[in-house]
Amino acid sequence: MVHRYGAKLIVRYVQDSIDAGLVREEAGPNRSRNALQSVTLLSAISELKLDACFGGARRDEEKARAKERFFSHRDSHGQWDPKHQRPELWNLYNGRKSVGEHFRVFPISNWMELDVWQYIAAQSIPVPSLYFSHQRPVVTRNDVLLAHTEFLVPIEDETIETKRIRFRTIGDATCTGAVSSLAGNIQEVIEELVASRVSERSTRADDRRSDSAMEDRKSKGYF
């Protein structure tokens, strides 16, 4: 069965999970909504009886993702165990699964961030403006530039500053940081990446909660 999620469907799963008490909004200045993502994803997989979910994660993004397989097995609870991943020899993948289990499939796992942008340039793919340089009010928290929104307000000695920034990855505003940048088009982004030695995921505030933050989330069902 092939199913493509729509925004209305995702919103319904989020609201259903909140109404059922399965998840709650975190409180505090460093709150994140990743718990909402995992529970709603697992609810959708269960209701739609999905065998596989395709994602665009890459191994260069974060050390936990470097442990992923192209064909990554999840148990009947949607959990991932990095110590029991199946061997992948050349292009041979083990797709055997039991009822209730599923796979997360990552076709571009071996791509780098630069590969993605070069492909975008070659195929003339439209890209959201958030990926390019623009002026935006931000707050610096734990060395991460976070957009100032109604969900994120300054604390203690933090101040709101307007800077020219762009986002290397787009996620929830409570945890997705930006980078200072003047790259206003695809070619300028490519040139910036060639000179960069900092990981794309370094802008994600929730990855800094602990050394195993991403691995802990993935073990509970996070994509």
- For position 74, which CATH number holds? 3.40.50.620
**28 and 57 housed in the same domain:** yes
- pLDDT band at 37; cut points 50, 70, 90: confident
- Can you give the three-state secondary structure of the chain, one letter per residue? CCCCCCHHHHHHHHHHHHHCCCCCCCCCCCCCCHHHHHHHHHHHHHHHCCCEEECCCCCCCCCCHHHCCCEEEECCCCCCCHHHCCCCECCECCCCCCCCCEEEECCCCCCCHHHHHHHHHHHCCCCCHHHCCEEEEEEEECCEEEECECCECCCCCCCCEEEEEECCCCCCCCCEEEEECCCCCHHHHHHHHHHCCCCHHHHEHHHHCCCCHHHHHHHCCCC
**102 and 142 housed in the same domain:** no
What is the token pair recorded at 114?
Answer: 């630069």
pLDDT (0 to 100) of residue 1 = 46
121 in a domain, yes or no? no
pLDDT (0 to 100) of residue 14 = 64
**142 and 74 housed in the same domain:** no
**83 and 25 housed in the same domain:** yes
Distance CA 186, CA 198 (A): 18
**215 and 196 housed in the same domain:** no
- Kindly report, residue by residue over 57-77, the tens digit of the pLDDT: 898 888 888 888 999 999 988
pLDDT: which is higher, 216 or 138: 138
pLDDT (0 to 100) of residue 191 = 96
What is the token pair recorded at 72?
Answer: 């990554």
- Kindly report, residue by residue over 97-112, the tens digit of the pLDDT: 999 999 999 999 999 9
The count of domains in the chain is 2
- pLDDT band at 189; cut points 50, 70, 90: very high
147 in a domain, yes or no? yes
pTM of the model: 0.78
**72 and 91 housed in the same domain:** yes
Which range, 13-17, 80-84, 132-136, has the best average confidence (pLDDT)? 132-136
- pLDDT band at 184; cut points 50, 70, 90: very high
**39 and 107 housed in the same domain:** yes
Distance CA 221, CA 202 (A): 21
**194 and 215 housed in the same domain:** no
Q: Which domain holds residue 180?
A: 127-208
**178 and 100 housed in the same domain:** no
38 in a domain, yes or no? yes
pLDDT (0 to 100) of residue 221 = 75
